[in-house]
Amino acid sequence: PAVAERIAAGEVIERPVSVVKELVENALDAGAQDIRVEVRGGGLRLIRVSDDGYGIPAEDLAAVCERHTTSKLTAFEDLERLHTLGFRGEALASIATIAEVTIQSRAWETEQEEGEEQPAYWYTWRGGLVQGHGRKARPHGTTVTVTDLFYNVPARLSYTRAARTENGHIVQLLRRYAVGYPSVRFNLALDEHTAIQTSGSGSLATTLTELYHISLEEMLQEIDVSDGEHYRLRGYLGNRVLAQGSRQYITLFINGRWVQSRVLQDALEEGYRSLLPKGKHPLLVLALEVPPDEVDVNIHPAKTEVHLLQEAKIKEAVTQTIKGLLERSPV
Ligand code: ADP
Ligand code: MG
């Protein structure tokens, strides 16, 4: 592909975790209940995402890595995507431009006859060009394998950090999806070592115990408070023993969407600052629900600003809720 195209793809796919994000989102879009992610060498050597979703019909497989071939997004989502990633329906195309990508898939045909074999197909692209394709049996679902990421984008390669750093980003991303989709089973293997395994039980509390290897559910307190009008706060707060020297154990959602909100972070800190040792942060998953017309989540690649109409009220509720629960939490 032309240099300009490679640079553009490199802008979209900033680092290995961007690939993982796109592939996992595709798996979720395909209704997967079981998503396996395999990473080697921080993602530069290999990223593989396997799902049991509805698969890609044979006649579509050849085209999924071409630009502008998909339009499943609604106009509104398109707009959002333009803000977040600056492209739409082009994730696979971008990745295939700057890596080697093999997609194996078997479409889930509901009308399939009992015992009838459903053929599965594979395609390989490298640097945007088809390298080969064929048939190979497999269960329904899709496996996307990405190797040699950034092999033709030296600027991106030099920007990529040590495998451990890249792995850290990938773990955080997968935790976020596991928390956001408790009924999906997630497995993440880093260099053949299992880093994350959830059961897809559907229970957020169970998912948290699995993600953070907490054996006791009593270490978590449930949050569910609402003023019946402007907000509802739901989630789980870990007790003081689980406090960490990092904010990465705090996961926030507003109206079902993962956010990084300064406003909520400040309100939280106000609530736990006096109750936890300096520099410690609780394990927390907090989902804020507000009427859609009282929130403006304005996503910009560089920053996430969330404007809440009832900001003062909600901040106060968040602060008091965290404070109250931590004060009461055992230990
Ligand atoms: P987008 O997701 O924005 O449509 P992508 O480049 O990420 O664009 O994917 C292109 C298309 O390939 C998707 O629209 C979908 O039809 C198909 N696809 C990709 N991954 C999967 C998957 N894991 N399961 C089923 N279909 C998939
Ligand atoms: Mg996609």
| Alpha-carbon gap, residue 83 to 278, rounded angstroms | 36
Of 79-83, 169-173, 202-206, 281-285, the poorest mean pLDDT is in 79-83
Which ligand 1 atom is at minimum distance from the Cα of 81? 3
Instruction: Identify the CA nearest to 237 among candidates 282, 288, 289, 271.
Output: 282
Topology agreement, domain 3-197 and domain 214-328: no
Residue nearest to atom 13 of ligand 1 (CA): 70
Distances in Å between the Cα of 33 and the Cα atoms of 58, 125, 171, 266, 314 are 22, 27, 19, 35, 34
C-alpha of residue 271 to centroid of ligand 1, in Å? 42
| Alpha-carbon gap, residue 64 to 233, rounded angstroms | 40
Query: What is the CATH code for 214-328?
Result: 3.30.230.10
Residue nearest to atom 4 of ligand 1 (CA): 89
Instruction: Show the tokens assigned to 149.
Output: 């990421």
In this predicted structure, what is the pLDDT of residue 88?
57
First vs last C-alpha separation in the chain: 60
Phi-psi region of 62 (alpha: psi -120 to 50; beta: other; left: phi over 0): alpha
In this predicted structure, what is the pLDDT of residue 79?
43
Instruction: Show the tokens assigned to 283.
Output: 């394990």
Q: Is the pLDDT of residue 225 over 70?
A: yes
Domain 3-197 has CATH 3.40.50.1110: no
pTM: 0.87
In this predicted structure, what is the pLDDT of residue 113?
59
Q: What is the CA radius of gyration of the chain?
A: 21
Strand partners, 49: 37, 144
Neighbours of 190 (CB within 10 A): 22
φ and ψ at residue 44, rounded to 5 degrees: -75, -35
DSSP for 160-177, please give it: ---HHHHHHHHHHHHHHH
Contacts of 66 (CB under 8 A, 6+ apart): 93
**How large a percentage of the chain has pLDDT more than 70?**
87
Instruction: Show the tokens assigned to 273.
Output: 């600052």
ipTM, two decimals, is 0.99
Instruction: Show the tokens assigned to 154.
Output: 């030296």
Of 6-15, 205-214, 261-270, the poorest mean pLDDT is in 6-15
pLDDT tens by residue, 161-186: 899 999 999 999 999 999 999 999 99
Residue 328's pLDDT band (boundaries 50, 70, 90)?
confident
Q: Which amino acid is at 182?
A: P
C-alpha of residue 131 to centroid of ligand 1, in Å? 20
Where along the chain do its domains lie?
3-197, 214-328
C-alpha of residue 22 to centroid of ligand 2, in Å? 5
| Alpha-carbon gap, residue 90 to 98, rounded angstroms | 13
Q: State how beta strands 121-126 and 100-106 pair.
A: antiparallel
Instruction: Show the tokens assigned to 96.
Output: 């295939």
